[in-house]
Amino acid sequence: MKTFGFAAQAATAPLAPFSFERRDLRPNDVAMEVLYCGVCHTDLHQVRNDWGWSQYPLVPGHEIIGRVTAVGTAVTHYKVGDHVGVGCMVDSCQECDQCRKGLEQLCRKGNIQTYNDTERFSCDPVARTYGGYSKHLVVREEFALRVPDGLDLSKAAPLLCAGITTYSPLRTFNAGPGSRVGVVGLGGLGHMAVKLAAAMGADVTVISRSKNKEADALALGADRLLVSTDAAAMAAAADGFDLIIDTVPVKHDINPYLPLLDVDSTLVLVGQIGPLAEPSTVPLLLGRRRIAGSPIGGIAETQEMLNFCAKMNVLPDVEMIRMDQINEAFERLDRADVRYRFVIDMASLPATQAA
């Protein structure tokens, strides 16, 4: 299948039109027209090769909403015209203990990322993966997600990454009525953590360096804002949280947050991939507190999250852009100038593109 999108040809190059081919449908494949694609901070990191493993040309995009255009002969769950989503992964070994438990994101052999990866399990010959900044996508049925009726297609795309990245630790660590949840950072991930935790019935506090985001935090569903630079307020909040979701996507100091945890409580890192400022073990040892990390969820949990968001009317706050605005959007994303997630209207792609 010939298709087109926008790709980076090098770490220093802007995204530009790019033509390429998707694989022909295998029996268990679903083909879709991409309708909307979210813009994740990971896309910016990958395009700029901040983590050192980017391969070019690179077509980003792992928050994808589409319409099914064709199905393979063995597909049973989807038909032409269905609305489906694709998140951060498009395959896994399907055989290891983690995959059998529905934890494909923790596949022992490594899941296949939606872009900047190599299909290793079910593709012959081995092929590169290209993401959702494109007109069409082909994915195996098991990694397509059904978009529930009533979920706004134009806003749903960020749920496939920002949504599940925060939903999964909230579920894993039992956020719900009676639980006290702190959220550090109020960007794309943080605003979803607030909305989801509030929808689950938790008492939610946004933890920020200043009071500037207090109105936004309350509007998103938080019960209050705690200023982390206010020593007296932080001391008064000691032992006050069962769970803290840290969404900050850069190296930072987590030590101020550890005394906020109650006994046997957890701070979960979901934003920063890489080094942190050195943590002190004192509050960990004295309070039997924990620092944990969490990636996305598995396919079943992601579907559960979509169903929950449809039921509770939880959607990200988004700014719609055209495909040709992506480089400007990256610049704005780099300086945190977005509330709270960009979504590309893929109808803005031209009818044809040059290679």
The CATH number of whichever domain residue 208 belongs to comes to 3.40.50.720
Side chain identity, residue 179: S
pLDDT tens per residue across span 306-315: 999 999 999 9
> What pLDDT, on the 0 to 100 scale, is given for residue 355?
39
> What pLDDT, on the 0 to 100 scale, is given for residue 124?
64
pLDDT tens per residue across span 282-311: 999 999 999 999 999 999 999 999 999 999
Q: Answer whether residue 23 shows pLDDT above 60.
A: yes
Instruction: Work out the average pLDDT over 223-231.
Output: 97
- Within-domain flag for 308: no
Reported pTM: 0.94
Backbone angles phi, psi at 323, to 5 degrees: -60, -35
Residue 120's pLDDT band, with cuts at 50, 70 and 90, is confident
Q: Do residues 68 and 201 both lie within one domain?
A: no
- How far apart, in whole angstroms, are the C-alpha atoms of residue 355 and residue 353? 7
Instruction: Work out the average pLDDT over 321-341.
Output: 94
Q: Answer whether residue 236 shows pLDDT above 80.
A: yes
- Within-domain flag for 305: no
Q: Do residues 154 and 172 both lie within one domain?
A: no
pLDDT tens per residue across span 80-89: 999 999 999 9
Alpha helices in the chain (DSSP H): 41-47, 97-100, 153-156, 162-172, 188-199, 214-220, 231-236, 282-287, 299-312, 326-334
- Count of domains for the chain: 2
- How far apart, in whole angstroms, are the C-alpha atoms of residue 243 and residue 239? 11
Domain holding 234, by residue range, is: 162-293
